[in-house]
Amino acid sequence: MQERARRIYNLRMGPRKGSEGVIARISIPYLATVAIAVLLLFAGHRAAARGPLVFQNDAQEVARARVQGTAERAGPGGFGEFGGADGYDDLGDFILMLQGERMAFEARILRGPRRGEVVSAVQTFGGLMPGAEREVAAGDTVLIITFGDEWFFNGRYRAGRLLWLGALFALCVLLFGGGKGFNTLLSLGLTCAAVFAVFIPSILSGGNIYLMALLVCAYTTVATLLIVIGFNKKSLAAALGCMSGVAATGIIAVAMDRALFLTGIVDEHSRFLMFLPVEGEINLRAIIFAGIVIGAMGAIMDVSISISSAIWEIKERAGAIRFDALMRSGMTIGRDIFGTMANTLVLAYIGTSLSVILILLVYTDSLTSLMNMEMIVVEILQAVAGSFGILLTIPLTSLFCSTIFLREGRGPRG
């Protein structure tokens, strides 16, 4: 009886051959995966970053400062001398028109070459650009910006509190998830690095946006699944299903881009991209494609790994099971997942564009005209193409799982 219990325990917990042996078996593939992922990031960044990532504006300087004291509010007034030689006449008149009331305050600069210097700055209220910004007070940390020789309030410093919130989130993930939580944070960091250190520099350097978007999706999928789940049949099937779903989303996005005659000029930000001093002209239609496939990748990956894990558990618990039964189980699980995941994707796009949708609904009296706006068309295309990707991921992942899990061999177990 004791021997049988010991065998069951070893089957569930794995053989115990000393902590060093367990660590060696787990750490070598894991560390190799992380090392290769980091090396690929460095290589990708060096290949992509051929131009400047930040374009400096010598006419303006932004500094973080701490408020030392304030004066009483006053009516609209000048912001100092905007001399014609400096080219600030029109800018000064425009700011004066918008400002409303103003309040002077003194602030000590906290960072940069002017660290420790106390300067006078101005905060404005109301005018033609009303806002809910509160008056600054002594001890507040703010950002100030120069126009000519004058400093102006440019908003409260919020990055510090966001960092604290991020640190709290990371701590909760570690406490709740343990080792899996650490792997989640690591994969999240690699994903952000792939986007900001490789994909965006490649755009600014004149790279092929279509190709780079697909490469970033493939990198993120493989790195995330190998780090979070490990090198096994589950991650292999999920990776194949995810990349197939992303590819299907990309095909639909390209086809509808041509069918809808999109220009890529969705909003004012798109227009600004047309005038960036970069190599060549940025392909705005390719930006739409990248936004669709990268935006849908997270949901598609979630669906693929959920189906892969569920089918693996069915196969392990059911013992002998046929291919068609495993395939039907995957499709049943996928239908339940799709019912909520499509809502998640659509609501995410609606939530990010809620302010724009409200403005357009108020100022557009024709539903046909509203639905013909490229901004709205692209939002709908993102939601529908992503949902198509999820829909196609379900049978594809089920097919890969049923084929790989039932294949006999000595490959890595789930």
230 and 299 within one domain: yes
Classify residue 201 as exposed, middle or buried by CB count within 10 Å of its CB (0-12, 13-18, 19+).
buried
Q: In the listed set 157, 189, 220, which residue is the last one of a domain according to the structure?
A: 157
Q: Which residue type, as a one-letter code, is found at position 241?
A: G
If you compute the radius of gyration of the chain from its CA atoms, what whole number of angstroms results? 28
In a domain? residue 148: yes
Write down the pLDDT at residue 389.
93
Q: Are 212 and 203 in contact (CB under 8 A)?
A: yes
Write down the pLDDT at residue 22.
36
Q: Alpha-carbon distance 395 to 309, whole Å?
A: 15
393 and 345 within one domain: yes
Q: Alpha-carbon distance 380 to 370, whole Å?
A: 12
371 and 235 within one domain: yes
66 and 46 within one domain: no
Write down the pLDDT at residue 215.
95
260 and 359 within one domain: yes
Give how far Cα 153 sits from Cα of 61, 113, 126, Å: 12, 19, 14
399 and 281 within one domain: yes
365 and 240 within one domain: yes
> From the centroid of its chain, how far is CA 102?
38
306 and 246 within one domain: yes
pLDDT in tens, the chain (414 residues): 444 444 444 444 444 443 333 333 457 888 899 999 999 999 998 888 775 555 555 567 889 999 998 887 776 654 444 333 344 445 555 555 555 678 889 999 998 888 889 999 988 876 555 555 688 888 999 999 988 788 988 888 998 899 999 999 999 999 998 888 899 999 999 999 999 999 999 988 888 999 999 999 999 999 999 998 888 899 999 999 999 999 999 999 999 999 999 988 888 788 888 877 776 788 999 999 999 999 999 899 999 999 999 999 998 887 778 898 999 999 999 998 887 887 888 888 788 778 777 877 777 777 788 788 888 899 889 989 999 999 999 999 999 999 999 875 444 555
In a domain? residue 21: no
DSSP string, 192-237: HHIIIIIIHHHHHTT--HHHHHHHHHHHHHHHHHHHHT-SSHHHHH
In a domain? residue 343: yes
Q: Are 405 and 237 in contact (CB under 8 A)?
A: yes
Whole domain around residue 44: which residue ranges? 27-51+178-405
In which residue are the tokens 């070893």 written?
10
Classify residue 252 as exposed, middle or buried by CB count within 10 Å of its CB (0-12, 13-18, 19+).
buried
Q: Alpha-carbon distance 210 to 233, whole Å?
A: 29
| Residues present in the chain in total | 414
In a domain? residue 2: no
In a domain? residue 171: no
Backbone region of residue 115 per phi and psi (left: phi > 0; alpha: psi in -120 to 50; beta: other values): beta
In a domain? residue 96: yes
Helix axis angle for 323-352 and 374-405, nearest 10°, is: 160
222 and 147 within one domain: no
Q: Alpha-carbon distance 367 to 381, whole Å?
A: 17
Helix (H) or strand (E) holding 347: helix 323-352
State the total domains in the chain. Answer: 2
Q: In the listed set 124, 157, 190, which residue is the last one of a domain according to the structure?
A: 157
In which residue are the tokens 């609501």 written?
347
Give how far Cα 400 sits from Cα of 171, 242, 344, Å: 36, 11, 25
- Write out 254-300 in H/E/C secondary structure: HHHHHHCCCCCCCCHHHHHHCCCCCCCCCCHHHHHHHHHHHHHHHHH
Count CA atoms closer than 13 A to 91's CA, side-chain side: 16
